[in-house]
């Protein structure tokens, strides 16, 4: 018996010849090579799966090593996808593994790319990426096994297009974001100060933030955006650059300190209206703190628990100066390599801790220990290797149901910290009739992006899909056209940054047809191509007025979820919100301007 046959003998006996044959021949896309991904890849290569593609954008971090067992210390800073392939190939060298270091949302990973796979297995920890993969699988009609863990908890959800709930059928909590004006001017909690230190001050002093900002302003000017506003932003960027240039010289720490903890706070105090309902901040004095530090005999706590010590004002000041000096020396020694914030970079972490605590003191906010700052700034969610292993095993079990095409056998599985019942298993629910993702009509459209104008796209929607005169065209969070906003009609799709893989939604303002989404791909030669039989866009459901008896009954009726076996063959369609909730979060100092700020000739919508 060959080594290959011996390796799979047990799997073949358990699964049977037919199912094992499907396991061997299917193409699997695994998105994510982190905690779940490492366990999952090991399961796949030892279970008989022979054609696996891995995509992951991340590199290996020191903190990953305690649970992501495919990685070792010598792999730190390398691509997770590449190293996962190397390590898993040692388990089974006969498996074909393609490793891609990239973002799953990049244009090359379009619906045609997804359609080549028999299964997609999600091992992501990012809400936006999960929603994107969910939508791609719905359009490509590829079964998706979704998963996630958090500490002792985890879940596995099979998603079958048209048969089960998709990832967006149930509302997910949105990750917390903070307005820039809150971070820069009116912090009120420790996390505001930590975000300011990590994401605002550190990159502007030591990172590549200023160069990126300049490049973005150049692009905006080339697109013909508001010249006066761009000039103002350039002046602001120049001021930040001036501070940055002096960081590594003598007295750099003092200049930074007096700028952000004295001058900037005094400027804020001059805006009297801002403090009518808020506690006023107190500027900090370099001279006073220097004198107090010299006179003080206190020392920063040492020993094994020093990172859990909550520092005094003097200790934060000492830490700020010392960490500034160390980071400045690194910039001076290698000026061509900007620093990147990393929770495992001791100098960067100490700087963020000190800078955040000094700001917290100025604004009357409780200070935090270095341990707390690392946890909050690094967005560390407690991870347990055992939970990842359990969930990875459940993914493979659900994948086998999908390969059998036994859709009704799929189950939503929850893992919990409960000795009496570690897992909870429920039947898969039917698609939500109000889901903006799985109830959408997706229309493949090959189009010459450099020649076809937005006006022609509107005509395609009207003449080929049956929409009326009052249509609205939206791409992600951008309004491209509506009857009251026609500035872009003569622009080509390429000039509006529509590219292969873009999803362009059409809404019917007349209220007759449900929404549809064009799935764009490029057609270099020609104008446009639709499927030979364009999909029929369903009409919006008409809501019937309930009788008094029905209204009374509905108030006391308990709603229940439909299971997959109760799905109506035709399903139902409901009106989708004009702009999907997953659109980009726009953060700007000017909240009013934020609502109407134009980019690329379009209106950005919150």
Residue numbers belonging to the annotated binding site: 32-37, 56, 64-67, 80, 125-130, 166, 169, 435, 438
Give me 62's structure tokens.
């020191």
Residues in binding site for ATP: 32-37, 56, 64-67, 80, 125-130
Residues in binding site for Zn(2+): 166, 169, 435, 438
Give me 559's structure tokens.
């709603």
User: For 435-455, b where at least 16 C-beta lie within 10 A, e where not — what string?
Assistant: bbbbbbbbbbbbbbbeebbbe
| Gyration radius (Cα) of the chain, Å | 28
CA distances 564 to 143, 180, 482, Å, are 15, 44, 38
CA distances 205 to 76, 155, 239, 411, Å, are 25, 41, 12, 51
Query: Residue 256 class from Cβ within 10 Å (0-12 exposed, 13-18 middle, 19+ buried)?
Result: buried
Give me 418's structure tokens.
């409960």
If DSSP states are collapsed to H, E and C, what string results for 53-95?
EEEECCECCHHHCCCCCCCCHHHCCCEHHHHHHHHHHHHCCCC
Q: How many CB atoms lie within 10 A of CB 145?
A: 27
Q: Quick check: helix, strand or coil at residue 261? A: helix
Tokens 């399903």 -> residue: 571
Query: Residue 554 class from Cβ within 10 Å (0-12 exposed, 13-18 middle, 19+ buried)?
Result: exposed
Angle at 495 between CA 492 and CA 498, to 5 degrees: 85
Element containing residue 377 per DSSP (H, E): helix 370-377
Interacting residues of 525 by C-beta distance below 8 A, sequence separation 6+: 448
Q: Quick check: helix, strand or coil at residue 380? A: coil
Q: Tell me how far apart the alpha carbons of residues 142 and 173 are, in angstroms, rounded to a whole number.
A: 26
In DSSP notation, 135-189 reads HHHHHHT--EEEEEEETTEEEEEEE-TTTS--TTSS--PPPP---HHHHHT---S
| Residue 130 phi, psi dihedral angles, 5° rounding | -60, -45
Tokens 């240039």 -> residue: 245
Active site residues: 181
């Amino acid at each position: 018996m060959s080594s290959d046959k011996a390796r799979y003998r047990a799997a073949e006996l358990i699964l049977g010849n037919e199912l094992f044959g499907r396991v061997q021949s299917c193409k699997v896309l695994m998105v994510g090579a982190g905690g779940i991904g490492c366990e999952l890849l090991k399961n796949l290569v030892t279970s008989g799966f022979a054609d696996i593609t891995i995509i992951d954008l991340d590199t290996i971090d020191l903190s990953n090593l305690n649970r992501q067992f495919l990685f070792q210390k010598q792999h730190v800073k390398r691509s997770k996808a590449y190293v996962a392939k190397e390590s898993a190939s040692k388990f089974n060298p006969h498996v074909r593994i393609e490793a891609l270091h990239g973002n799953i949302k990049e244009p090359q990973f379009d619906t045609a790319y997804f359609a080549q796979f028999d299964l997609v297995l999600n091992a992501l920890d990012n809400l936006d990426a999960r929603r994107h993969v969910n939508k791609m699988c719905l359009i490509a009609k590829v079964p998706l096994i979704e998963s996630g863990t958090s500490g002792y908890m985890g879940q596995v959800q099979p998603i079958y297009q048209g048969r089960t709930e998709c990832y967006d059928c149930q509302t997910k909590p949105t990750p917390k974001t903070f307005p820039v004006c809150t971070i820069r001017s009116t912090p009120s909690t420790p996390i505001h100060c930590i975000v300011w230190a990590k994401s605002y001050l550190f990159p502007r002093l030591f990172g590549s933030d200023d160069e990126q900002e300049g490049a973005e302003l150049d692009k905006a000017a080339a697109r013909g955006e508001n010249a006066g506003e761009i000039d103002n932003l350039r002046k602001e960027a120049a001021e930040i650059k001036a501070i940055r240039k002096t960081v590594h010289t003598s007295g750099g720490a003092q200049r930074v300190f007096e700028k952000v903890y004295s001058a900037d706070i005094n400027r804020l105090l001059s805006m009297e209206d801002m403090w009518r309902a808020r506690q006023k901040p107190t500027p900090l004095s370099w001279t006073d703190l220097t004198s107090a530090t010299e006179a003080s005999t206190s020392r920063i706590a040492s020993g094994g628990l020093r990172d859990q010590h909550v520092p005094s004002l003097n200790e934060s000041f000492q830490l700020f100066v010392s960490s500034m000096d160390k980071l400045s020396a690194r910039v001076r020694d290698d000026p061509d390599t900007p620093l990147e914030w990393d929770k495992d970079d001791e100098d960067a972490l100490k700087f963020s801790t000190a800078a955040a605590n000094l700001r917290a003191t100025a604004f009357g906010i409780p200070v935090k220990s270095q341990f707390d700052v690392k946890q909050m700034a690094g967005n560390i969610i407690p991870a347990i290797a055992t939970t990842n292993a359990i969930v990875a095993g459940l993914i493979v079990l659900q994948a086998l149901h999908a390969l059998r095409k036994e859709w009704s056998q799929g189950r939503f599985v929850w893992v919990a910290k409960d000795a009496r019942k570690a897992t909870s298993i429920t039947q898969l629910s039917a698609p939500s009739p109000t889901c903006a993702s799985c109830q959408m009509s997706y229309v493949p459209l090959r189009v010459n992006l450099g020649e076809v104008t937005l006006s022609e796209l509107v005509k395609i929607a009207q003449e080929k899909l049956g929409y009326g005169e009052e249509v609205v065209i939206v791409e992600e969070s951008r309004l491209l056209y509506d009857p009251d906003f026609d500035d872009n009609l003569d622009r080509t799709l390429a000039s509006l940054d529509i590219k292969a893989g873009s999803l362009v939604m059409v809404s019917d303002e007349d209220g007759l047809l449900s929404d549809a989404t064009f799935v764009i791909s490029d057609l270099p030669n020609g104008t446009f191509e639709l499927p030979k039989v364009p999909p029929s866009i369903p009409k919006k459901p008409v809501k019937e007025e309930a009788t008094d008896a029905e209204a009374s009954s509905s108030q006391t009726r308990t709603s229940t979820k439909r299971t997959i076996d109760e799905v109506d063959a035709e399903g139902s369609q409901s009106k989708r919100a004009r702009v999907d909730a997953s659109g980009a979060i726009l953060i700007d100092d000017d909240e009013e301007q934020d609502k109407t700020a134009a980019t690329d000739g379009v209106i950005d919508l919150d």
